[in-house]
Structure 1
Amino acid sequence: MPQSRWTLMLVPHDNERVRSFQVSARSIRNALSGAAIFALLLGTFVISFAVKQSHHSQSAGLKRENQLLAAEVDEMRKQMEALDRSIAALAKKDEQVRVIAGLPEVNADVRKAGVGGPGTGSMGARALAKLNPGVGRKVEATSEDLDALMRRASLLRGSMDQAVTQIRRNQQRMASTPTILPTDGHLSSLFSGSRYHPVLRISRPHKGIDIAARIGEPILAPARGRVVFAGNRSNGYGNMVEIDHGYGYVTRYAHASRLRVRTGQMVDRGDRIADVGNTGLTSGPHLHYEVEVNGNQVDPMNFVIGDALP
């Protein structure tokens, strides 16, 4: 069967002659197929080039991000080193405070590492280490160091809280400890297991100290406490004040000429509670002062800081 043919005629606008070409249908089909293949190859090349450029751009962006991340991690590590030095300085101060508070020293290994085992890093840091080992290792190490710093800071905070609490307790105890002489005068009789009584003219225990002073001389509370008795006792003490200071401390002040507090009243160290007198069984004006600790009467001079007066 004869192949079909096509005639292409080129007609110019000037007076040149008309030109004609004859081509077969197969040639046209081959030409169209070639053009389609060329267009396909060209499209594939363009797409491949675009994808490659995109990957290159993404790679450059990721590289830049990794560089910035590494720089941030390095800066963070510098700040953590400064924080580590600050924690170490605070730990030294904490040791001094614990000594003042009367607390035992924290074990050096425990203070250095904090409570618990070493940090394991976050899941994100471990995942990053697989994608980018260099940056990932930095991030993971930083995460572990930060975890250790947090444990040390937590331990230090707990130690300081314990020390502050103990110091406050010590302050309260000290405020309730009778550490001053209640009045201004001279010691006329000391604490003794056996003393000759100037009025009764017999020997018997002297459960306190006597401070000779003028009538009307102020008698001051030697520590914080609550007045549990203010009145006259028929046992020879005359007008007397008794104060419960807590922590097992009780003090008594006998032979007063005037009482200036009432039962149930709270007093602080230095408050005027009575005036020196010679009521009760006495041979002259003075203050008889007793200190009792946990039910046992002791020498008041064991607690007096010199001849301190507020």
Structure 2
Amino acid sequence: MASVHEYKRFENSLVFKVKNLALILVKGIASFFKVIFQELTRRYTIVLVPHSEKKVYNLHVTVLSMACMALVLAGIVGAFFWYGASYSNTRGVLADKDGRLKNAQASLDQLRDETSRLLRTARGFEVALSSTLSALGVDTPANRASNPSLSGDLSSFFDIKETAEGTLQEVDDVRRLSEYLASAVEPVKEIGTLLDSQSALLTEIPSIWPIKGGIGHISMFFGQNENPFTGQYYIHKGIDMSTYRQGDAIVAAADGQVVTVDYDATGFGNYVIIKHKHGFYTRYGHMQQFRVTTGQRVQQGETIGYIGNTGLSTGPHLHYEVHIGSDVVDPFKYLNIRSSIAKNQR
């Protein structure tokens, strides 16, 4: 029992001491803040004495009011510097954007100039394409379109009026040009197909110079000529081509099949006859030697023999004939086919 009473006394003593300590601490803190408050609210008088005999001004201030004024002043100065820095940064950004805007404007002006140049070129392209298509009997893009407003015909936007600002609607122009070019693809393909078929036709008819490399000249033309052996006039059924020497390669004037490889001592000497499509035949006479055999298929430009002086001949040359069925025709007309087509296309 004695130990319990001692424990209770100890506990009560401890509680009492803690209460006293807390009370002392609270009083100390209160005293501290009281002193601080007294210092902050202590009044000071600032006397303003003018040099003249005017009234003297007394300003009563406290430490707290001066501290508040100092904070306000510091805030104003800080805000001034912050806004100054922000203004400088914004000014730099605006200057950079202004430079970019000027560059963009310059690029836009250049684009407009190039667009105008493109439209002028497109006008010439339309005229040339329409002329070519008309000559070949192919419909132009304008004729193909059922709705003129939706067609790609360049004439539909070469009449575009300028806006109030004096500028053309470049984007709309380029769009219409794109539509026109898209509509012109099919006619251009038809031209390609036509040229391919024409090229195939030219390989099927005797249309090239029958001496390799295009060398030599015509020493006697087709038709009425003086016979070099009798001195009398006669009908020369081909053309004679000479290079002044033997051994130059003779080529097939068109695709075909060799039907004759023979020798005529009193006439053509060594000669070759080739059968072509569309009823054409070609004869090559006075050859030095052959490079083909009967029944062989040859292509245009393929070597079939060499220039010689065999048979009834006055010197090394090639006697070249063109037949259509049983009729003999002037080979020179067919030798000019390619050059004539090229002139017409120009």
Q: Where on the TM-score scale, by shorter chain, does this alignment land: which range? A: 0.3 to 0.5
Q: Which one scores higher on RCO, CA 8 angstroms, separation ≥ 6?
A: 1
Question: TM-score under structure 2 normalisation?
Answer: 0.44
